[in-house]
Amino acid sequence: MMTKKYIFFILLLFPYLSFSQGKPVSESEARTKVFENYDISKHQYIHPDREIEALNKIIDYASQRVPFLTATQLRAGKADTSQVVQIIKNGQIFTYCYDANCSTEDDSATVLRHGNRRYVINVERITPQIWGAVPNDGKDDIVALQKASDYCIKAKRNLYIPAGDYNISRPWIIGRRSGAYTFSNYASLSIEGEAAQLESSQNATRILPSYNNTFAIGITNSRGIKISKIKIDGQNPVNKILTAAQEPLLDINNYVLNGSRDSQYSPYAGIVIDPFSKTVPEDGGYPGMTAYYNSSVSGTAKCTFEDVVVTDFVVGFLIEPYMPGAPLGSEITWRNCVVKGNKVGVASCNNQNRNLLWYGGSVGTCYYAFDGASYGTRTGNIPHIFGGNYGGKYLFNAKNANGESTVKAWGMHAERFGGIGFFGGAGVSGTNPAILTDCRFSFGFPTSSVDHHIVAYSSILFQNCVFANTKAEYEGAPLRIWKWGAVNITFQNCSLSSGGGNLALPVWADSEYNFIGNSLAEGGHNQGGSQGSTELTSNKRAASKAALNRHTLTVQTIQFADDPGSIYYVNKAVNTINLGTQTLTKDPATGTATFTVDDPGVVKVGDHIINRTTTNYESYLGTKTLSSNVSPIGTISAISGSTITISGIPESINSGNYNLFSTWWSRYHEPTIGDVISGQNVIRNVSKPDAWKVGNHITGAGIALGTYITAISGNTFTISKNAIATNSGTKLFDTIVYKVTGTQD
């Protein structure tokens, strides 16, 4: 039997429970099941046979207390006897409560009014549906989104955007849009979607702009903006056309499609921090938005983006593209964001964009992952990077004017990409090096390679980094570095593995690099048959000379435990041979090139080829304006008679005539002597044959530079080129090592 206590308990709870309930089939249908003469106020006991009747009476009672109405019915006075009302909008139900103290006018969303009675929306989460947004209907939702964010900023509420596709026909601007900025009136807001997924729209919150000339979301005059779990898909379909394995990734023209706007001060972007300033920039600013360039001096800071996905824009995230006078754009944090299929992943536009922090996530299918040299004043700071996965053509286009470190990165994992990129700029006097620690760089394009993997106008320090390859086809490309003047590049405890990791330096440049405790792995495609432990380090201690056999040593000092009183000095770490002017024939389909030499006995598989003909290579902004008369252009991958094949050809090298040099890292061997006879390709009576392996370069009096060992039998070496003079007991070596006293070892 149902007691009166039970009935009143239900009556007490029902108005609150009904807030989360759907609308009855119809109010009239519910009433037909209720006995109108049943007096609930008598508090009588109810017989079990009449419990259903009683419960239906309770439903009717609750419906009178919390009626389901439309906004039109409320405005007609249908809710005047109720303190709480359920309003039906676009198939959804929202709760409104009477507020005697409210004076806000009826806005059809948060406040509804009849006479002097105002009903204020009472929901746990503010959503754009309150203003009429309907996801997945293909209609424009920008008005609802804009009103929702404006309301939340004013009311200091958070905005939640349920899963679905939200179409926008113009930019969504978050923050104040006019008036002078002060620290007391900045905008603050948290926007959260349901989820953001790169490859799937299932359960995702997606913002879909229909245009390609402005931006999707602009944040102005704000502090403490947070956006999370939202995907933004643009109309520059890079991600839909290119993949990381395609050669078109090398061409900058493939990153701006369908007329998308790519202008210095107003590129098409997913999210822009401070898109406007006091005046219109020289490129005209964002089209149709001249009125937004007003008296506001922005100063947005302390923004956080978490689990945000941005695809198919010219720029994914853009920071202050035009902010003369008083830029800020600082304290920006990204966590687990994905930026793919944009020309630029993240672009910082001036040197006041500081304390930018990127955690995890990924940036790929782009020309530059992080760019400070393409937009605005082109002196932007690159975010500090902590982990994450990266790809595209270049990781960095970093250039600032403050003398600060251009890049600081920890734990990056980059694969199937072209080059690490550009550091500093001509005329930049930065003394603090870029620092990249515990990073893995696995280069890999299937055919042509970037011109240089690193272009350094400022110093760089690589610590505990690995340089390797993703694809076997790329193994012929050496690690190519161009650096300006006395800029210093340091490798410390790094691994330069076989393939693209092999470091190619011209002979006159080896002393301009610092090597501390690095390894240079060998074997396989590049190195032919050469063997032996190798390393690149500036100062070496070894148990004995034999312990260093076949090590690749940089210009450095050496001390041996069994010769404690002596210090040795490596005079030459890189050897080179002038091959003269040669006609190079390039095969773009394979990324290889061939040329012929008169004397193939002085070159071998694994040697690097240097171009000494002045050539224009790629510089900042994708232009071919870096003029250089010295650059590695590939690695010898095959020799057939006098025809030499080199792999990993830079994209700017085409068929033509070039002054070519062959170069290689020379190896240390403990002191060795042997006998050579002019016109013969053997060395007899070798004193230390165990110090050498097939494939090692070897020279000495009567042996031409570039000659290498093709076979070893006991103490007799067969070499690649006949001796040019007869000498007994000639010193055999590859690396030149002296004692500090000046005696050649």
Tens digit of each residue's pLDDT (9 = 90 or more) over 103-149 = 999 999 999 999 999 999 998 899 999 999 999 999 999 999 999 99
From CA 295, how far away is CA 5, in angstroms rounded?
65
Average pLDDT, the chain: 82
Mean pLDDT of 674-685: 96
Nearest to 299 by CA among 327, 319, 271: 327
The reported pLDDT for the residue numbered 471 is: 57
Model confidence band, residue 525 (pLDDT cutoffs 50, 70, 90): very low
Residue 476 has pLDDT above 80, yes or no: no
Write out pLDDT tens, residues 186-234.
889 999 999 987 777 778 999 999 999 999 999 988 889 999 999 999 9
Q: Which has the higher per-residue pLDDT, 716 or 443? A: 716
Model confidence band, residue 415 (pLDDT cutoffs 50, 70, 90): confident
Model confidence band, residue 7 (pLDDT cutoffs 50, 70, 90): very low
Residue 528 has pLDDT above 80, yes or no: no
Q: Which has the higher per-residue pLDDT, 526 or 295? A: 295
The reported pLDDT for the residue numbered 66 is: 81
Model confidence band, residue 96 (pLDDT cutoffs 50, 70, 90): very high
Model confidence band, residue 468 (pLDDT cutoffs 50, 70, 90): confident
Model confidence band, residue 511 (pLDDT cutoffs 50, 70, 90): low
Least confident segment among 3-17, 390-404, 625-639: 3-17
User: Is 550 in contact with 692 (CB distance < 8 Å)?
Assistant: yes
Which span out of 241-250, 321-330, 348-357, 711-720 was modeled with the highest average pLDDT? 711-720
From CA 485, how far away is CA 503, in angstroms rounded?
19
Model confidence band, residue 92 (pLDDT cutoffs 50, 70, 90): confident
From CA 611, how far away is CA 630, in angstroms rounded?
6
User: Is 442 in contact with 419 (CB distance < 8 Å)?
Assistant: no
The reported pLDDT for the residue numbered 8 is: 43
The reported pLDDT for the residue numbered 48 is: 60
Residue 619 has pLDDT above 60, yes or no: yes
Which span out of 328-342, 442-456, 481-495 was modeled with the highest average pLDDT? 328-342
The reported pLDDT for the residue numbered 221 is: 85
Percent with pLDDT over 70 in the chain:
79
Q: Residue 516: which H helix or E strand, with range?
A: strand 513-516
The tokens of 180 are what? Answer: 């002078």
Residue 685 has pLDDT above 60, yes or no: yes
Q: Where are the beta strands (DSSP E) in 99-204?
A: 111-114, 117-121, 159-161, 164-168, 172-175, 190-193
From CA 645, how far away is CA 476, in angstroms rounded?
10
Q: Which has the higher per-residue pLDDT, 327 or 731? A: 731
The reported pLDDT for the residue numbered 491 is: 86
The reported pLDDT for the residue numbered 363 is: 96
Residue 31 has pLDDT above 50, yes or no: no
What is the phi-psi region of residue 49: left when phi exceeds 0, alpha when psi lies from -120 to 50, beta otherwise? alpha
Q: Which has the higher per-residue pLDDT, 132 or 427? A: 132
Other Cβ atoms less than 10 A from the Cβ of 259: the count is 11
The reported pLDDT for the residue numbered 733 is: 93
Residue 236 has pLDDT above 70, yes or no: yes
User: Is 93 in contact with 71 (CB distance < 8 Å)?
Assistant: no
The reported pLDDT for the residue numbered 447 is: 53
Q: Residue 405 to residues 344, 383, 394, 410, 455: CA-CA distances in angstroms?
A: 20, 11, 18, 14, 15
The reported pLDDT for the residue numbered 507 is: 46
Residue 691 has pLDDT above 60, yes or no: yes
Nearest to 525 by CA among 461, 476, 454, 574: 476
Mean pLDDT of 655-679: 92
Give the Cα-Cα-Cα angle 597, 601, 604 (nearest 5 degrees): 90
The tokens of 523 are what? Answer: 């074997």
Write out pLDDT tens, residues 150-187.
999 988 999 999 999 999 999 999 987 654 444 456 88
Mean pLDDT of 528-536: 47
The reported pLDDT for the residue numbered 501 is: 39
Mean pLDDT of 267-286: 94
Q: Which residues face 647 on adjacent strands?
A: 592, 635
The tokens of 461 are what? Answer: 């320090």
Mean pLDDT of 392-409: 81
The reported pLDDT for the residue numbered 448 is: 65
From CA 320, how far away is CA 306, in angstroms rounded?
20
Give the Cα-Cα-Cα angle 685, 604, 419 (nearest 5 degrees): 140
The reported pLDDT for the residue numbered 553 is: 72
User: Is 732 in contact with 701 (CB distance < 8 Å)?
Assistant: no
Three-class secondary structure of residue 376 per DSSP? coil
Q: Residue 617 to residues 396, 592, 628, 650: CA-CA distances in angstroms?
A: 17, 18, 7, 9
The reported pLDDT for the residue numbered 47 is: 59
Residue 261 has pLDDT above 70, yes or no: yes
Mean pLDDT of 435-454: 83
Q: Residue 142: which H helix or E strand, with range?
A: helix 142-155
Model confidence band, residue 605 (pLDDT cutoffs 50, 70, 90): confident
Q: Which has the higher per-residue pLDDT, 22 or 358? A: 358
